[in-house]
Amino acid sequence: MFSERTIERGDFLLEAIPVGGLRMVDGNQADDKILAVLAGDAVYGEVADIGALPRALVDRLRHYSLTYKQIPGEGALKQVEIAEIYGRDEAHEVIRRSERDYRAAFGEG
C-alpha cells in the first residue's frame, strides 16, 4: 500500500483503495500482488489508477517483487516472473475472484 505515512505495525485495519496490481507467477502458481493507496493520504490519496503513480516507483516495486525471495548464498534462484502490470479495474476483478475462491474453499462464514 502506498502512503506518505510510515506504517510500522500490521495489527490494525485501514481503508485501502486498489489502484492496480502485478500479475505474478511464483513457482508456476498465480501470486497476484494488489497495489493500493491509503484512503485520504496526503500524497497518494488522489491516485485512482496505477498509471498515475510515478514510473520510477512502479519500477522499484517491480524489482523488489522479483527479488525479495532470493536468499543470498542459497543457490538456485526462485522462479518468479511478472506477467503483467494492470490497472484498477483488473485489480477489482482479481479481488472478486479471490473472494469467490476463498468462499469455495472455506464457506461463507
* Full pLDDT tens readout for the chain, 109 residues: 999 999 898 898 999 999 999 999 988 888 999 999 999 999 999 999 999 999 999 999 999 998 887 777 766 667 889 999 999 999 999 999 999 999 999 998 6
- Burial category of 52 from C-beta neighbours within 10 Å (exposed 0-12, middle 13-18, buried 19 and up): middle
> What is the pLDDT at residue 76?
63
Q: Is 27 part of a structural domain of the chain? A: yes
Q: Is 66 part of a structural domain of the chain? A: yes
Range of the domain at 29: 16-106
Nearest to 47 by CA among 98, 1, 93, 9: 1
Cut 0.75: pTM above it: yes
> What is the pLDDT at residue 45?
95
According to DSSP, residue 15 is labeled -
* Domain CATH number, residue 69: 3.90.80.10
Helix or strand holding residue 93 (H, E): helix 88-106
The residues facing 17 across adjacent strands are: 37
Q: Is 74 part of a structural domain of the chain? A: yes
Would the CA dihedral through 31, 5, 9, 98 be positive or negative?
negative
